[in-house]
Structure 1
Amino acid sequence: MRHARSGKKLGRDSAHRKALYSNLAGALIEHGRIKTTVTKAKAVKPIAEQMITLGRRGDLHARRQATAFLRSRDVVHKLFAEVAPRFTDRPGGYSRIIRIGPRPGDAAEMVYLELVDEEYVATQREERTPAPVVVEEVVEPDEEVIVDEPAAEAAPADDEAEADPAEPAAEAEGDEPAADDAPKA
C-alpha cells in the first residue's frame, strides 16, 4: 500500500530518480533556466528551492548538505556565490514554471523551469476585510414642465403673433428647418 506517500515515481527506481532530481536541480542553478516536462519540473522545483535556501544560510553545514545532494563543487560554488545572494530578501518562491506547449514527437507538455529574476519588494499585507463601499444614490432631476403662454406673446404685435406659432410648429415637425428660417442673401 502507498498510504501517505507523496511524489511521482517518474518510471524510475529510487536511485535513478534521486540522480534525476540532482541533475535537474544542478542544471537549474548552473544555467538559470531548464526545459523539461511538467511532471519533472513540478517534482524538482521544491528540491531546487530547498538548495537555494541552503545557499541563503551560507554556513559550512549548509554547503556540505548542498554538496552531498548536488555532487558538483562548481555548481555549489555558483549557488553560494551568485544565486543565493540574489534571493536574500525573498522568503521562498525562487522559481517559476512557464508552459511552452507540447513536445514534437510524443506531445509531452513541455515547460521552462526558471529562476525568478526581478527584484523582490516586500510589501505590507492588505487587510482581508476591505472597507465598506459607500453607494451614492443617484437622484434624477424632475422633468421641467414647459408652459406655453401664447396669449402673452400675441399681445405686442400681429406680425410677431403670426411668426411665433410657425416656429413651434417647425420644431414639432422635425429637424428640418423651415423655409422662413433660412438666411437670405
Structure 2
Amino acid sequence: MLQHLELELKRESEAAEQRMSHKLQRIARELALQKAKAVTEARQEERNKIVVLLDKQEKYAWEKKQEMELAFKMSQKEFEEETEKLLKTAENVREAQLEEVINEVNRKDSEILSLTQQLEDMTAWKDSLEAEILETRAAFQKYINVTFPQLAPGQADFILPFRKISPFTDAGVDF
C-alpha cells in the first residue's frame, strides 16, 4: 500500500509539473502572438494614417495647381516637410509602442522565470520532505521490528499512521 501511495504521489507530482510546463509554454506562445499582433497593427495604423494624409494633401494640391503655379511649388515643399515630420512622429510613436511591448514581454519573461524557479524550489522541497517521511517511517518500522521481535511482519502496522494525501492534490490546486 505504501508503494501504491508513493507511485500515486509520484504520478500526481509529475502531472502537476507537466501541467505547469504546458501552462508556461502556452503563456510564452500567447505573449509572442500578442507581440507580433501589436507590431503589425501599429505598422498598419501608420500606413493608413499616412495614406489618408497623402490623399488629402494631393487632392488639395491638384485643385490649387491650376490657379497658382508658384504657390503650388511652395506648398509642395511645405507638404514634404510636413510629411517628413508626420513620418518621424509616426516612427517615434511606433518605436515607443514597440518598446512598451518589448518591456511587457520582458516583464512576462521575468514572471515566467520566477514562477519556474518557485516551482522548482517547491518541487525540491516536496521531494526532500517526501524522502524524510520515508526515512522516518523506515526507521520507525525498524524500531518496531527490534522492539517487538515476536510480532509477525505486518502485525504492528497499526502503529504506523496511514499516509495522508497532500491537501494540494486533494484541493485540485493547479501549479
**TM-score normalised by the chain length of structure 2:** 0.21
**TM-score normalised by the chain length of structure 1:** 0.20
Larger strand fraction of residues: 1
**Higher RCO structure, 1 or 2 (CA under 8 Å, sep 6+):** 2
